[in-house]
Structure formats: structure tokens, C-alpha cells
Structure 1
């Protein structure tokens, strides 16, 4: 019985230490990389469009400042966003590829102990376009022209898993601003799913 009490005492001490550590201000910094999947909003509200999801790349830096169970996580990464889009009733395609510097400003919380924890994040994202390529097919019909803006806005929702210095994140990025399609007043929005793996270089 004494061994059980001793084991329980040690376990509670470790858990309490981990909880107290989460309440103290911390700072972490690292690198991240991964893939995304881009899609367009095909609702008739924005014009009758259809499209195919295509994969892109993400790579950059992240930081995390936390205390009292909450954290602020700004990031800066380079990303490519690829999508194939077409107007209904035509076979003409536009294989659009955009690259940008993205700046998410996330607020989140973390639960866990012993170096393993789950995170939940949300917040706004500002995207600064670097390159905008569009390749139109030679099929009959007018291909959709996406007039992607130099500065775009989105909102991210996501969850992550921390295992020691490695983190895994899965997020949904909801496009906020409407992108003209070059077809009258029709507009669309670009949304993304992204999956990244991050490595913590140092933390305090």
C-alpha cells in the first residue's frame, strides 16, 4: 500500500509541475514545412464555377509566446497555392498557381503533460502575393481568369499535436476576400487545407 501511495505522490508531483510550467510565460521558436490542398468556392452566388483541388508547398518560421494556459503564435511562411478552375458548360481550363508570403496571427490553448500535448489555434491570416501564374487550356470556350489580389485575407482554424520538439498541425484556411473571375461580376473565394510538421529550435 505504501508503494502505491508513493507512486501516486510522485505522479501528482510531476503533473502539478507540468501544469505550473504551462502557467508561466514561455517562448518558443522553430521551423516548419508541409503541404496544402487548394480549393475554390463553387457556390452559384459567386458565379457558376467548378474546379479541381491541387497540392502546394509550405515552408517557413513560427514562434509561440504563452502563459496562463493561452499562447500567441505568429508565423511567416512561403506557400504555393495551385488550383484548376473552369466555368460550367465549358471544357476550357485555367491551371492557376500563386505563391505568397503568409502571415498568420494565431491565438490558442494547449493541454497535455510530460512533453506531449494537443493544441487548438485560430486567428486571421494576411497573404502577400509574390507570383501569379495562370495557364489556359486550348479547348474551346472562355477560360476563367482569376484576378488574384496582391494582398489577401483569410481565417485559420486548426489543431496540433506536440511530441517533445516535433509538432504536427492540420488547419483549414477560409478565404475572406472575394476574387474577381474576369467574367462579369462573378467572384470566388480560395480555401485551403494544410498539413505541416514543425521543429522547435529553442524554447525558454
Structure 2
């Protein structure tokens, strides 16, 4: 198989701002509800990291109004779009699996539909890193797999762009989070088309 991360990067590069159409086909209210619930819990001037920020909408645009926000994404095109869409926020091109931050750097870390673009073998180590990067009492919001699957789509959403996903099942993700030291606040299935994902809200 071609390098999975190259598939992901080139896929999001090719989609460019058409990815916004995909987001709008989901339920935008999901994001609003999740982000509003997080914002209420955070201290003033909280520091937030988003893994897989895409073009900055809606997460960066919403959170950077109140908080110190940093978004990272593998796609240079998505980061370029994000810097245009949300000029007050900070964005960097990066592979989330190779990031390095001092311990206790962030009050919240967000990974909505993004961890599952990493090969599943890399995900447990990233979850451990996320735990280390969070301050005590910090929060994680993420959406991951509901069932086990790894594969590609050569025409994602009929866009002509290829995309790669890799995820395990919800019970395994929960065991990884709890085993790392997180406290589970909320978890539920998020339907999408004929399948869906699992939403987790966690606290260190």
C-alpha cells in the first residue's frame, strides 16, 4: 500500500476548501454542542491544541475568540486555508504522531475525526502523549472508530480524492484511554450514513 500519511495529506490537499461541503453535510450542531460544552469548562486564557484542524472551521474560529489556540494538520493546503479563515489563531503543518511538547502544555486537546487517519498501531502512543501534554484537570474531546476497520476510499464523497482511515472498536479505545489514566466523562455513538463514530469526552 502507498504510504497512508501521503494518502491523507494529498487527499486533503486535493479537497482544499471543498472539505467544508463535507462538514456541512454532517450535523454542524454536533460541533457547536461539543465546543460550547468544552468552553464552559475551561479557565480564562486556556491553551488549546487541535490535532487535525483542517481549514479552521468551525473549531479554530469558535475557540480562538476566547482562548490561546494552536491547530496542526498534515495538509499544507488546509493550513493555508485555516490561516486565511482564522487569522487570529496559530496553525502549523505537522504529523500529529511526531509532535513534541513539554508536559502540561495545554488545558484541552481536540481530535475530531482525525486520530483515525493515523495507522492504528501509532494511536496508543499518541494517546499517551496527549495525556502528558495536558495539564492536570485538562480535557480531551475526540471522535474515533466505533468498529474495527482499516482501508482506503479512492473517491471519497465522490470528490475524486483518495482517503485512508484506520481504527479499532469503541471498547478498545475506551480501554486505551482509561489505561493511560484518563477519566471518562462521556461517550456515545455518533451516527453517520450507514455507520458512525464514537465520541469521547475525557479529563486528566
Structure possessing the higher relative contact order (Cα contacts under 8 Å, 6 or more residues apart): 1
Q: Report the TM-score when normalising by structure 1.
A: 0.26
More strand by share: 1
More helix by share: 2
